[in-house]
Amino acid sequence: MNEDVVLQVKGVSKSFGGVKAVDNVSFGVFKGEILGIIGPNGSGKTTLVNLITGFVKADSGMVLAEGRKLTGLAPDKIAGLGIVRTFQIPRPYHSLSAVKNLVVPLYSSRIMHTIGGKLGDRDTVALDILEEIGFERDAHVPYKLASAFSEGYLKRLELARCLALRPYVIVMDELFSGLSVSEITAMIPMVERLHMNGITIIMVEHRVRELFQIAHRVMVMNFGEKIAEDVPDNIMKNEIVRQAYLGVT
Amino acid sequence: MDEKIGRRERLDRGIKVQTEGIYAISSWRGIAYSLFPTVSFVLGMLIIPLVVPSMTWQRIMTIACIFALLALSFDFLAHFVGIVCLGGAFFTGVGGYISGVLNSAFGLPMVITIPIATIAGGAICTFFLLPCLPIRGIYFAIVSLMYPLLFARVIQALELFGGTDGLPGLATFPNIWVELYFIIPMTLILTFGLRRLVNEDFGIVLRAIKDNDQAVRASNINIAWYKTKAVFIASAIGCFAGACLAHLYGWVGLSLFALDFSIFPIAATVVGGVGTLVGPIIGAFILAPLSEMLRAFGPLRVVFYSFVLTGLVVFKTEGLVPFLQRKYHQFERWTEI
Amino acid sequence: MNIFIFGLVNSVILALTASGFALAYGVSRLANFAHGALYILVGFATWLFLNRLGINYIGSILLSIIIVSIIGGGIYRLFLIRVKGMPVSEIIASLALGIAIMELFRWRGFISEAYMLPPFINGSVSIAGVMIDWQRLIIIGVGLAMMLFLWLFTHHTKVGLSFRAIAQDKHASMMSGIEPDRTAVISLAMGSALAGVAAVVILPLGNITVETGYMVLTNAIAVCIIGGLGSWAGVFAGAFLLGFAQILTAAFIGPQWQMVVVLLFIILTLICKPSGLLGKQKELEERV
């Protein structure tokens, strides 16, 4: 694994009203790794995702991607740089079919400016991506309206939407939430395949056990602060982490 | 005592299922079934000028087309982009005045004033509506409603462009046939053009923005730009209608900003069916004659379709075109459980 | 000095006419576009009672305000309740109703000069060297009293507090036993009553015309946009800003430019601070 730092978060803070959702968090993400972020409810994980990907403006601190400052950029610009995210509750385009859901990101500036002309028929590209993430390539499934799919498929569609943008960093906001154990088991190889393709992945998760199967390193948050950052084995044994989750014993 | 419990169920007609997808061309009957609605609509529109009883009615048909265009623009924005524009009068006013001023002050002929009014008017209206685009909630609706009222006051107060009296003596269409056979085909072209657009890529992105704009932003697309383009298209259509209106009557005045032009399109859309693009056209052609028949009662017309609109909106009616579509494609029957 | 006094009067007029609209919108998120229609409805009703039925002035006023309140509440109960939750349909429905009412008046011929309400006290008085008529002074008095009343009402009475609760969080207040529908009816009724009070003090300054109805609606919306929704301070601020801006424009540039000023202010507000000067509806701005 390359030691290059692909994403650097420095002293980032955000308050909503009187509540400090993220409090002076700093960490680095290495190229090609899978970094997990866990923490009890309300620890600021989703806010952190929003801060990194530009959906929320930080009160202070910086986020750098390969030296370039991300803080202050609009979310669509950040996605254009190749840093994409999934939403915790999937946000498909309900009135469009699965195929057309994926055609939309193919109109992003990122794609249009790089390989736009050589893309060919966008529907076909969309179908290819759908196949990659596990949609059956028969006559009907990709053409069903997004509103007709189950949660597992919608999560895959979220990922597919990210993949369409050819990212190098994907921030996944609770990918496993709302899925059954078997659905999660089916998703894990897909995440690993993304990792094999060289994509850096940040996974904010609540399902700690499943996350520990694939994460290389894990960061723990509590009350908006970072309280630990280590490999999964050590995290399990960390006293501070245990206290955060289980309370003082 | 045995009670038979039943329910009504709705099934697709056999022929609809037979003509799904590529099978539409498998038989003459199938082709006829698939094409019938579109063809009858187009033919109907084209034949109308020939079958109406008098010139007054022909004039009414032209006006209906103008309103149809406004309704089209409203439906497009409301249903496919998620922007509710209550300012149809804004478009007619701006388009009409540009066309009128160009003709009156500079003597430019109709063939030039109308296109210029369409494009320039579209640009001006979009410019004024821009500040409201990024804002959520109903602000866009409110502000778009206010613009025509405000602009009318400004023109009146500053005595611009003829002030309260307006600009008379503009060029008009050579005769009623030119009028009709210019406006009707343009309406058809714009309707089917928009229909095509919403199914093509630009339209797909717009619909995605309406469904979930945060997801679109997360996909590296500048939604402001797309919304701006959509508003431009809608306002250009509205301004075109206004420009035609100016040359229809040979006169522009403050009445081009009347609330009439804002409310009628909404009523027409609701009557015809929201989101169908064709529905608003049909709705306009239903309401316009009705409203003309009430012209003798003066402002009562507005009262009439205001009440109609209130009733339809409040009772959440389906709209004519969806109703017809349902009847055409499906049948209902009573089954016992 | 002239400018100060007339600026004050204008601002209070704007605040009065906007307060009814702001109440309904602030509380139940109901943009009542029939506001202007209800305003002139009170005017005409009062005129009718006074001149056709011979009821005395105070009686006519009270009667019309009560009737309009009932109509306002009725608009919600009969029409808007069916489209609640769909803000656009709400606007369309109330707008269409408002227009129907106003155009109905126009059809019946209520557009001419003949319809006027007499001022409460005739004549004028000199204050700080400026001649001002009593009616305008009454307007200022009533306006300030109204603002005070509204502030006290929403901060210290049960109904008023429930208004604020619903405005802040509908579901939480429902859990506290506040019924949103009943509150909506009350807020619309109150909003109409406020429009009525505004109408009876302001209309004596001029004629009752249908155009006034549209102007009132436009001004109310302008004040709410500029000042921001969600707080009385916002209505106040918006009204005063706009009120003085209009008078200053009239004095130094020309009275016809007043409308331009209104337009400019709205656009500026939307570009710079969409939620208005003191608005609390942050969600109207770009949201995550």
The chain B residue lying nearest A165, using CA atoms, is B219
Confidence of residue C286 (pLDDT cuts 50, 70, 90): very low
The residue type of B219 is S
Residue pair C187/C104 in contact by the 8 Å Cβ criterion: no
Burial label for C56, CB within 10 Å (0-12, 13-18, 19+), is exposed
Residue pair C76/C184 in contact by the 8 Å Cβ criterion: yes
Q: Do B218 and A122 touch (CB under 8 A)?
A: no
Buried b (16+ CB within 10 A) or exposed e, B189-223: ebbeebbebbeeeebbbbbbbbbbbebbbbbbbbb
Per-residue pLDDT, B24: 66
Return the ∠ at Cα B149 (arms to B143 and B150), rounded to 5°: 75
Going across the sheet that includes A19-30, the strands are A19-30, A5-16, A60-65, A68-69
Write down which chains contact chain A via at least 3 CB pairs under 8 A.
B, C
Q: Would you say residue A22 has pLDDT above 80?
A: yes
Per-residue pLDDT, C114: 65
Write down which chains contact chain B via at least 3 CB pairs under 8 A.
A, C
* Nearest chain B Cα distance for residue A75, angstroms: 6
Domain A5-246 -> CATH class? alpha beta
Q: Do C88 and B84 touch (CB under 8 A)?
A: yes
Stretch (H or E) spanning C189: helix C180-202
Tell me the residue ranges of DSSP E strands in chain C: 124-127, 130-133
* Chain B residues touching C271 at Cβ < 8 A: 131
Higher pLDDT, B126 or B174: B126
- Structure token pair of residue C268: 């500026």
Polymer length in residues for chain A: 249
Q: Would you say residue A129 has pLDDT above 60?
A: yes
* Nearest chain C Cα distance for residue A14, angstroms: 14
User: What are C75-133's pLDDT values in tens digits?
Assistant: 888 887 777 767 677 778 888 888 888 888 777 766 555 667 777 666 677 766 667 77
Q: Would you say residue C284 has pLDDT above 50?
A: no
Average pLDDT, stretch C222-226?
86
Q: Between A85, A100, A109, which is nearest B218 by CB?
A: A85
Q: Return the number of other C-beta atoms located less than 10 Å from residue A127's C-beta.
A: 19
How far is it, in rounded angstroms, from Cα C155 to Cα C233?
A: 13
Q: Would you say residue A76 has pLDDT above 60?
A: yes
* Nearest chain B Cα distance for residue A5, angstroms: 23
Q: To the nearest whole number, what is the mean pLDDT of chain A? A: 87
> Model-level pTM greater than 0.90?
no
How far is it, in rounded angstroms, from Cα B289 to Cα B325?
A: 24
Of C132, C156, C151, C168, nearest to C28 by C-alpha is C168
Query: Distances from the Cα of A29 to the Cαs of A79, A216, C102, C214, in angstroms?
Result: 17, 11, 65, 60
Q: Do A93 and B211 touch (CB under 8 A)?
A: yes
Q: Would you say residue C184 has pLDDT above 70?
A: yes
C-alpha distance across the termini of chain B, in Å: 16
Per-residue pLDDT, A17: 79
Domain boundaries, chain C: 2-114+133-284
Q: B interface mutation test: which of C79, C84, C92 has the most B CBs within 10 A?
A: C92
Give domain B54-328's CATH architecture. Answer: Orthogonal Bundle (1.10)
How far is it, in rounded angstroms, from Cα B145 to Cα C194?
A: 23
Q: Return the number of other C-beta atoms located less than 10 Å from residue A95's C-beta.
A: 17
What residues contact C134, with CB distance under 8 A and at least 6 apart? C119, C120, C121, C122, C123, C124, C125
Q: To the nearest whole number, what is the mean pLDDT of chain C? A: 79
| Helix, coil or strand: residue A36 | strand
Residue C126 DSSP symbol: E
| Helix, coil or strand: residue B331 | strand
Q: What are phi and psi of B49, to 5 degrees?
A: -60, -25
Residue pair C24/C191 in contact by the 8 Å Cβ criterion: yes
* Nearest chain A Cα distance for residue C94, angstroms: 29
The residue type of B93 is G
Of C34, C7, C9, nearest to C20 by C-alpha is C34
* Nearest chain A Cα distance for residue C275, angstroms: 17
How far is it, in rounded angstroms, from Cα A65 to Cα A61?
A: 14
| Concatenated DSSP letters of B248-301 | HHT-B-GGGG-THHHHHHHHHHHHH-TT-SHHHHHHHHHHHHHHHHTGGGTTHH
Higher pLDDT, A206 or B72: B72
Per-residue pLDDT, A201: 94
* Nearest chain C Cα distance for residue A54, angstroms: 9
Q: Do C284 and B136 touch (CB under 8 A)?
A: yes
Q: What are phi and psi of B221, to 5 degrees?
A: -120, 135
CA-based max dimension of chain C: 59
Q: Would you say residue A59 has pLDDT above 50?
A: yes
Per-residue pLDDT, C183: 81
Residues β-bridged to residue C132: C125
How far is it, in rounded angstroms, from Cα B226 to Cα B204?
A: 11
Residue pair A49/A201 in contact by the 8 Å Cβ criterion: no
Q: Is B84 on the interface with C (CB under 8 A)?
A: yes
Residue pair B282/B320 in contact by the 8 Å Cβ criterion: yes
| Concatenated DSSP letters of B156-225 | HHTTGGGTTT-B------SSHHHHHHHHHHHHHHHHHHHHHHHHSHHHHHHHHHHH-HHHHHHTT--HHH
Average pLDDT, stretch A103-125?
82
How far is it, in rounded angstroms, from Cα A149 to Cα A6?
A: 35
Q: Would you say residue C174 has pLDDT above 60?
A: yes
Residue A208 DSSP symbol: H
C-alpha distance across the termini of chain A, in Å: 38
Q: Would you say residue B20 has pLDDT above 80?
A: no
User: What are C16-70's pLDDT values in tens digits?
Assistant: 888 888 888 877 777 788 888 888 888 888 887 877 777 777 888 888 888 888 9
Per-residue pLDDT, B142: 81
Buried b (16+ CB within 10 A) or exposed e, C123-150: eeeeeeeeebbebbbbbbebbeebbeeb
How far is it, in rounded angstroms, from Cα A80 to Cα A87?
A: 17
In CATH, the number for domain C2-114+133-284 is 1.10.3470
Q: Between B207, B214, B222, which is nearest A95 by CB?
A: B207
Stretch (H or E) spanning B124: helix B110-129
Residue pair C9/C140 in contact by the 8 Å Cβ criterion: yes
Q: Do A87 and B216 touch (CB under 8 A)?
A: no
* Lookup result for tokens 């076909």: A124
Per-residue pLDDT, B228: 92
User: What are B209-255's pLDDT values in tens digits?
Assistant: 888 888 998 888 888 899 999 999 999 999 999 999 988 888 888 88
Of A90, A89, A86, A101, nearest to A145 by C-alpha is A101
The chain A residue lying nearest B224, using CA atoms, is A76
Average pLDDT, stretch C220-237?
81
Signed CA dihedral, C152, C157, C161, C163: sign only: negative
Residues within 8 A of C (CB atoms), B 119-138 only: 128, 131-132, 134-138
Residue pair B261/B114 in contact by the 8 Å Cβ criterion: no
Burial label for A137, CB within 10 Å (0-12, 13-18, 19+), is exposed
| Concatenated DSSP letters of B28-92 | HHHHHHHHHHHHHHHHHHHHHHHHSSSHHHHHHHHHHHHHHHHHHHHHIIIIII------HHHHH
Q: Residue C116, by phi and psi: left (phi above 0), alpha (psi -120 to 50) or beta?
A: beta
Residue pair B112/B119 in contact by the 8 Å Cβ criterion: no
Q: Is B219 on the interface with A (CB under 8 A)?
A: yes
Per-residue pLDDT, B146: 84
Q: What is this model's ipTM?
A: 0.84
Q: Return the number of other C-beta atoms located less than 10 Å from residue B8's C-beta.
A: 8
| Helix, coil or strand: residue A26 | strand
Q: Do B259 and C99 touch (CB under 8 A)?
A: yes
